[in-house]
Structure 1
Amino acid sequence: MENVITLSHFGIQCDWEDALGASTEGKCWVSVRTHGQDKSVQSELRRTASNSDTIGSFPFVVVKEKSSSRFLTLQNVPDGQECVFVATSSALGKVHKAGVIAMDVSEGGLGVSICKNNELKIWETDTGNVRRVLQGHLIDAYTCRFFPSGVVILSGGADCCIKIWSAETGDCPVTFKGHTGPIAEVCIVDRGRNIISVSKDGSARLWDCGEAKCLATIFSCKSAINSCILMAPTNYELGNPIQTMSDREVGTKGKLLVVGREDGKVSGVSVAARKELFTCILPSAVNRVVQVGYNSFAGGCQGGEILVFQLNSLSQPIKILSPTSSPILDLLIHPHKTDSNISSFWASKGDGTCVLINPSIQPCSKVIQLTGPDCDPVYQLRNDLDFIYSACRDGLIRKYSLKVINSLAGLP
């Protein structure tokens, strides 16, 4: 029997919290589209003048609202599914003037991001004040992330180069060259003596940071690779490491590289054995992969589909379907400890929606959705200890309180 979760697609006026609070008779639009429907049903929420409650007209019922926490819970009466809309805690508008396409944050209070003007910047997560502008990529940079130390940054882009930067000085002491196509994403092995990059040239390469050289091409295919994750699965056979392993290769034993491909496939590769272990076929191009459990990962597709795989049952994924075909642009595991084999995770889409999905709860009766973008794509999601951050085409980096979200999701 096919394992499918269908989600209704909820929409709300991007400035709903201001529109409803503007006066005692404020109002905003809201919509829903259930799976199998061709069109959305649009309605209105309005603030009553008598007791300042927010009420909805059919098919919506307002279940709960709390202006101080900036959230609103609606129920779609026909199917009973609820959506909790969470407003932005704050927006950082001083970092970039163009669309933000990639981002990462550290627990030390720093962020790094790239915009469509090819500006790579380091900034303070609490204020948005820019600390450094990193100049060195000849053409567009596509990906950036912090090393575990939080003071070293890795970036890659269309110039086929990977660069290591000091967050403290802005210097770039190391540049890796070897790929023949744009760099799509990078993984850091353990503490960072080695890194792995994937490229539109269809290859995944292992690099030695200390000597700035490529140790091996650990995977290659005829399709562009869009995304990668590095897993350390338990009780899963990865094969024996190659006998010619360099002493410069550290931490690759027991690691599984999962790559998302433009041809609609996800491949799993034993890094130390240099061996492809599996390839799964998905409905459309795989834009992003994310680990959602010790032995589980999810792939988000260009056609809007999300598939969740467990390594011991790859032929029976959980399919998460939305009534819209807006592409999945990023996936982020929700930062919360759980005993479940599969954790909750966020999905950001090309229509600006960002939804928290819990595949372990079926059927899905409630979703949590971040609001703010006005139909602008959200390209990336990241988190620190206190907030979830979103990078949007409108040039804003938005922050959402994890404390509020966890309380809404029933998490401590």
Structure 2
Amino acid sequence: MEARILLQNDWPEALRKNEGEAWVACKIPGKPTVYGTLKSQGVTDDGSFEITASEEFRVLGVSKKSVHISCPYANAASKFLSPYTSFPGIHDKSITCMDISCGGGLGLSTSTDGTMKIWNCKNGERRRELTGHVYDVNCCRFFPSGMVVLSGGMDTLVKVWSAENGSCPVTFKGHKAGILDTAVVERGRNVLSCSRDGTARLWDCGKSVCLAVVADCGAPINGCSVGVADNTINQGSPEEPSSDREVGTEDKLLLLAREDKKLQAVGLQSRQPIFLFEGSDAFNCCTFLSSIYVLAGTQDGNIYKLDTRNAKTAVQTIHRSGAPVYSLMPYREGFIVSQGDGSCYLIQQDLDHVIELTGPEADPVYKAAAWEKCIFTCCRDGLVRKYQLSDL
């Protein structure tokens, strides 16, 4: 675990007042935490802050929405970015899942208030509500076109919706327990779902049928991700004749984050196991960084980076907090992490550059999504927050 700098979640409000203060701390593995303060000397004409730090810390840069802080004693530094804006009126309760359309114009979210809604990414204005699931909707995502939505709920159903008029032309039935995650294969002729019943299923959207139970794990599957396999990986032979193969599933790997502390990779066409990696706790989420590298996050805060060609041991293990890792998303040259302690951050792959997305106090951030230089997060406090990296 590397040293990590923490900053008061509402630091912009605290420092906007003259002589206002915000706390800052640096957690150092195996050593006492270093505590300090930032003090405002006022706000400049362009809206940025004039800030001084107590002797344990240094302010390396500051703007209207960001501050760059270092702790020389721990040889640590981080940039902190506050939200560009936030949308409080989309849902009435915790927002559990979210996605952004390919053009960046529409947002999609689900909530413990039992609703799934489409909204405007500029102002949070609600466009329509997608109604049809019974009980909570656990997961939602846009198809690559941005005009179609895929969802899964506690009612064991997987549904395909029109984002334009809210209709639901396709409902997949077959799972025996609630759906926990979904994935879209290429442009969306096929989709995948994983469930508390321990199975991952492949569906044909055009025929509205289940093509196969791709995996039966015997334990709930909390997350899934599909990606292109490196051509050096032997995925075995397909189980059915080539004339029956699903279009778009060749050379794909399905990654499964399992409740029983295992991360599993399966050849999507062959149904053959590629690897089974055991972690420190239940896996909550997983994603592909490339055709070779994958990431997976656990309930006890570990993030494992694995090489799919040799996944016996992790290439890298990142542990910045003991809080559950709820989402992982590739972003440019790195990835975005959200956790159960309210933290959400962007890590560059060399780990030398960390951008902390501030705002939540201690409420879990369940999901992050991005479009160009905008990052959106959803949180237990019922807010969608929008960050602009151009504010750094």
Query: Which residue number corresponds to residue 410 of structure 1?
Result: none
Structure 1 CA distance for aligned equivalents of residues 120 and 41 of structure 2: 40
Structure 1 CA distance for aligned equivalents of residues 389 and 292 of structure 2: 25
Query: Which residue number corresponds to residue 89 of structure 2?
Result: 94
Specify the SS of the correspondent of 2:73.
coil
Among 45, 64, 72, the alignment partner of 2:38 is: 45
Query: Which residue number corresponds to residue 178 of structure 1?
Result: 174
Q: What amino acid does structure 2 have at the position aligned with 1:98?
A: K
Gaps of 5+ in 2: none
Among 303, 307, 330, the alignment partner of 2:304 is: 307
Specify the SS of the correspondent of 1:383.
strand
Q: What amino acid does structure 2 have at the position aligned with 1:353?
A: S
Query: Which residue number corresponds to residue 212 of structure 1?
Result: 208
Query: Which residue number corresponds to residue 340 of structure 1?
Result: none
Q: CA deviation at 1:50?
A: 11
Structure 1 CA distance for aligned equivalents of residues 319 and 3 of structure 2: 6
Deviation readout 1:223-281 (Å, 9 max, x if unpaired): 11011111112222222223346647211111110101111111110011111111011
Query: Which residue number corresponds to residue 354 of structure 2?
Result: 367
Distance 1:123 1:248, change over 3 A: farther
Distance 1:224 1:50, change over 3 A: closer
Deviation readout 1:288-346 (Å, 9 max, x if unpaired): 10111221101111101111001223234233343531111111111x2xxxxxx4111
Query: Which residue number corresponds to residue 26 of structure 2?
Result: 32
Q: What amino acid does structure 2 have at the position aligned with 1:237?
A: N
Deviation readout 1:198-230 (Å, 9 max, x if unpaired): 111111101111121111101111111011111
Q: What amino acid does structure 2 have at the position aligned with 1:379?
A: Y
Distance 1:66 1:393, change over 3 A: same
Query: Which residue number corresponds to residue 268 of structure 1?
Result: 265
Query: Which residue number corresponds to residue 395 of structure 1?
Result: 382
Q: CA deviation at 1:380?
A: 0.2
Structure scoring higher RCO (CA < 8 A, sep ≥ 6) equals 1
1:241 aligns with 2:244: no
Among 75, 80, 84, the alignment partner of 1:85 is: 80
Identity %: 37
Q: CA deviation at 1:10?
A: 2.6
Structure 1 CA distance for aligned equivalents of residues 136 and 310 of structure 2: 39
Structure 2 CA distance for aligned equivalents of residues 50 and 176 of structure 1: 56
Structure 1 CA distance for aligned equivalents of residues 113 and 298 of structure 2: 26
- 11-20 vs 313-322, which moves further: 313-322
Distance 1:243 1:44, change over 3 A: same
Q: CA deviation at 1:43?
A: 1.9
Query: Which residue number corresponds to residue 116 of structure 2?
Result: 120
Specify the SS of the correspondent of 1:53.
strand
Among 63, 67, 70, the alignment partner of 1:66 is: 63
Structure 2 CA distance for aligned equivalents of residues 245 and 17 of structure 1: 59
Distance 1:184 1:246, change over 3 A: farther
Deviation readout 1:146-196 (Å, 9 max, x if unpaired): 011111101001110001111111111111110011111111111111111
Deviation readout 1:13-51 (Å, 9 max, x if unpaired): 22111211222x1211112212234x6433211023699
Q: What amino acid does structure 2 have at the position aligned with 1:354?
A: C
Structure 1 CA distance for aligned equivalents of residues 242 and 271 of structure 2: 10
Query: Which residue number corresponds to residue 99 of structure 2?
Result: 104
Query: Which residue number corresponds to residue 339 of structure 1?
Result: none
What are the residue-to-residue correspondences of 1:255-404 with 2, within 5 Å?
255-322=252-319, 324-334=321-331, 336=332, 343-359=333-349, 361=350, 364-404=351-391
Q: CA deviation at 1:7?
A: 2.7
Gaps of 5+ in 1: 1-5, 337-342, 406-412
Question: Does the CA-based 8 Å contact 1:346-1:356 persist in structure 2?
Answer: yes
Question: Does the CA-based 8 Å contact 2:4-2:76 persist in structure 1?
Answer: no
Query: Which residue number corresponds to residue 408 of structure 1?
Result: none
Give TM-score, length-normalised by structure 2: 0.94
Structure 2 CA distance for aligned equivalents of residues 137 and 49 of structure 1: 51
Specify the SS of the correspondent of 1:150.
coil
Structure 2 CA distance for aligned equivalents of residues 323 and 197 of structure 1: 30
Question: Does the CA-based 8 Å contact 1:35-1:323 persist in structure 2?
Answer: no
Specify the SS of the correspondent of 1:7.
coil
Structure 1 CA distance for aligned equivalents of residues 33 and 364 of structure 2: 19
Structure 2 CA distance for aligned equivalents of residues 226 and 178 of structure 1: 17
Question: Does the CA-based 8 Å contact 1:266-1:286 persist in structure 2?
Answer: yes
Deviation readout 1:130-151 (Å, 9 max, x if unpaired): 1111111111110000011111
Specify the SS of the correspondent of 2:12.
helix
Among 22, 46, 57, the alignment partner of 2:17 is: 22
Question: Does the CA-based 8 Å contact 2:255-2:265 persist in structure 1?
Answer: yes
Query: Which residue number corresponds to residue 151 of structure 1?
Result: 147
Give TM-score, length-normalised by structure 1: 0.89
Q: Which runs of 4+ in 1 moved over 6 A?
A: 49-52
Question: Does the CA-based 8 Å contact 2:16-2:43 persist in structure 1?
Answer: no
How many pairs were matched up?
Answer: 386
Among 135, 140, 146, the alignment partner of 1:139 is: 135
Q: What amino acid does structure 2 have at the position aligned with 1:45?
A: L
Question: Does the CA-based 8 Å contact 2:15-2:39 persist in structure 1?
Answer: yes
Question: Does the CA-based 8 Å contact 2:157-2:179 persist in structure 1?
Answer: yes
Specify the SS of the correspondent of 2:74.
coil
Q: What amino acid does structure 2 have at the position aligned with 1:60?
A: F
Question: Does the CA-based 8 Å contact 1:305-1:319 persist in structure 2?
Answer: no
Specify the SS of the correspondent of 2:280.
coil
Question: Does the CA-based 8 Å contact 2:335-2:346 persist in structure 1?
Answer: yes
